[in-house]
Amino acid sequence: MLDGILIGLSTAFSLSNILMVIGGCLIGTFIGMLPGLGPMSIISIMIPVAISIGDPSAALILLAGVYYGAIFGGSTSSILINAPGVASTVATSFDGYPLARQGKAGKALTVAAISSFCGGSIGAILLMIFAPALASVALLFHSAEYFALMVVGLSAIAAFAGTGQVVKALLMTVLGLIMATVGEGALFNMPRFTMGIMDLQSGFGFITLAMAMFALPEALYLVLDPSRSKTEGGSNEIKDLRITKAEAKSIAPVIGRQSIQGFLIGVLPGAGATIASFLGYAVERNIAPKEEQKEFGKGAIKGLAAPESANNAACTGSFVPLLTLGIPGSGTTAILLGALIALNVSPGPRLMVDEPEIFWAVIISMYVGNLILLILNLPLIPYIAKVLAVPRNYLIPFIFFFTLMGAYIGQNNATELLILVGLGICATVLRFADYPLAPLLIGFILGSMLEDNFSRSMQLYDGLGFLMERPMTIGLLGLAAVLVILPSYRARRARLRQRGVADGD
């Protein structure tokens, strides 16, 4: 592990990679602050730039910086104008915004920055401990286990992302898998489902799909509902950034607890930073003394520190399944996986063995990213916050333009822009009807790997024999079935119980 850390240090601390982290954090903070733009949209927009860099370590370091920066920026807009840029910072606004309204915006931003820094750093240490252990277990896996593991990952994502509507999430996952079969795959070297359209020969572009699923609907929502980009009403005055010793002492245990809890939630596929932040807030509120509980929601710094440490630790935690198993646990890490594949890097247990410089550089750069966010962004916040003053009439055309550019640069084909618009409209309609979009993208990205491993197992065992002959495979597939059936069963039971109460039973 020490060798790996040294390799990571030398890669992450090269001048170009330091610039990547700084650039990524600043870009992420700037864009993440704009209400309505989440990390998935920002990372989608940044992917063509990252891919064109060519060096996978540098590209991943840039994207990880953008990811952290976006979460940080989202917290800032939550605190200053009560408009969370990302879902995972909604809980931040519960106490952050009341603090800002009391004229303590500077204090709130400091608490948020320190909590984020500690959450991210503790998460990175845990990642450094857990990831190699998990990767060495995963090295024992064969294609059959990989296939089963991906099914588990997809089922877990559907179960979590569906929040009571597991079938909808499952349908979206299968739709993503179906979309992945379009085009000429490497496996059979023949075009499938292209309907004779030349532009579909190479399949759907993953960048186009990511933009269409996240950036475009978000931008269309901003157009449809102008109140989403409203920036009035908050206190933008940022004066005193200091916190007292007593305050630091009171939030220290909260940060410690929520960093660990957030990390563990982040590791679970499908859970992610949003659930971690809400759960972190709820747990701290419940275990606080009675008098302090009353303060929650009115400007309690514990209520601000909890979601901030939890969401950053969860972001780091979500890298564990990505780097060690090659399975993304969230929409954001799915986009990062797509970027890695585009750069000819296959994340998974072999990544640590075959390309340790990428594996360790990403982990080390997470420390660096967190540190940069703390020392660079905190004093710059009053200036960066000026971005909130960009008028909607200028902001929206630029979001649309960068979405178009991202898809164009990714494929260098104008037809891709028409596909982007078509898919973007479909994604917006799906969002209206509450169909989760992250499972679709994750299904699409994992689709070819899933088919590849399934086909290899079928060929090795000359049929479905691998299901019976490999106990770990059957165990994992059983787990996948439980993951899908259990939430549906619980939701059904809750519905029946509710109906019983309503009927007066």
Rounded Cα gap, residues 118 and 143, in angstroms: 38
Which residues share a beta bridge with 183? 192
Stretch that binds other proteins, among 350-358, 371-379, 402-410, 467-475 (CB under 8 A): 402-410
Q: Given candidates 23, 30, 134, 228, which one binds other proteins under the rule CB under 8 A? A: 228
Tell me how far apart the alpha carbons of residues 387 and 384 are, in angstroms, rounded to a whole number.
6
* 208 in Cβ contact with 76 (< 8 Å): no
Residues 6 or more apart whose CB falls under 8 angstroms from that of 225 comprise: none
Q: Which is nearer to other proteins, 251 or 419 (CB)?
A: 419
Residue 276: strand, helix, or coil: helix
Using the contact rule CB under 8 A, the part of the chain among 100-108, 231-239, 257-265, 398-406 near other proteins is: 398-406
317, 126 contact by CB (below 8 A): yes
Q: Which lies closer to other proteins via its Cβ, residue 139 or residue 187?
A: 187
CB 154 within 8 A of CB 453: no
* Token pair in block for residue 398: 């630029």
Write down the least CB distance from residue 370 to other proteins, Å.
Answer: 28
User: Under the criterion CB under 8 A, does residue 421 sit at the interface with other proteins?
Assistant: yes
What is the closest distance, in whole angstroms, from the C-beta atom of residue 46 to other proteins in the complex?
Answer: 12
Nearest to 77 by CA among 102, 96, 103: 96
- Are 35 and 228 contacting, i.e. CB atoms less than 8 angstroms apart? yes
Closer residue to other proteins, CB minimum distance, 116 or 173? 173
The interface with other proteins within residues 236-255 (CB under 8 A) comprises none
Nearer to other proteins, 263 or 402 (CB): 402
Decide if residue 455 touches other proteins (CB under 8 A).
yes
Q: With CB under 8 A as the contact rule, which of the stretches 113-121, 298-306, 342-350, 455-463 interacts with other proteins?
A: 455-463
- Residue 418 touches other proteins, criterion: CB under 8 A: yes
Q: Which of the 8 DSSP states describes residue 87? A: G
If one asks whether residue 107 binds other proteins (CB under 8 A), the answer comes out as no
Nearer to other proteins among residue 391 and residue 471 (C-beta): 391
Nearest CB to other proteins, comparing residues 349 and 406: 406
Q: Tell me which DSSP letter residue 35 carries.
A: T
3-state secondary structure 292-345: HHHHCCCCCHHHHHHHHHHHHHHHHHCHHHHHHHCCCCCHHHHHHHHHHHHCCC
| Bridge partners for 184 per DSSP | 191
| Footprint on residues 307-366 left by other proteins (CB under 8 A) | none
Length of the chain: 505
Among 408, 474, 479, 482, contact with other proteins (rule: CB under 8 A): 408
Q: Which is nearer to other proteins, 106 or 185 (CB)?
A: 185
Provide the minimum distance between the beta carbon of 170 and other proteins in the complex, in angstroms, as a whole number.
5
Which of residues 52, 102, 201, 346 is near other proteins by CB under 8 A?
52
* Largest CA-CA distance found in the chain, in angstroms, rounded: 70
Among residue numbers 134 through 193, which ones bind other proteins (CB under 8 A)? 167-168, 170-171, 174-175, 177-178, 181, 187-188, 190, 192-193
Whole-angstrom distance, CA of residue 267 vs CA of residue 402: 31
How far from each other are the two terminal CA atoms of the chain, in whole angstroms?
61
Total residues binding other proteins (CB under 8 A) = 60
In the complex with other proteins, which residue's Cβ is closer, 16 or 415?
A: 415
SS3 251: helix
Taking CB under 8 A as the criterion, the residue among 103, 226, 478, 500 binding other proteins is 226
CB 41 within 8 A of CB 218: yes
Among 2, 186, 246, 433, binds other proteins (CB under 8 A): 433
Tell me the C-alpha distance between 94 and 99, whole Å. 9
Q: Which residues bind other proteins (CB under 8 A)?
A: 48-49, 52, 167-168, 170-171, 174-175, 177-178, 181, 187-188, 190, 192-193, 220-221, 223-226, 228, 391-394, 396-398, 400-401, 404-405, 408-409, 412, 414-415, 417-418, 420-421, 424-425, 429-430, 432-435, 451, 454-455, 458-459, 461-463
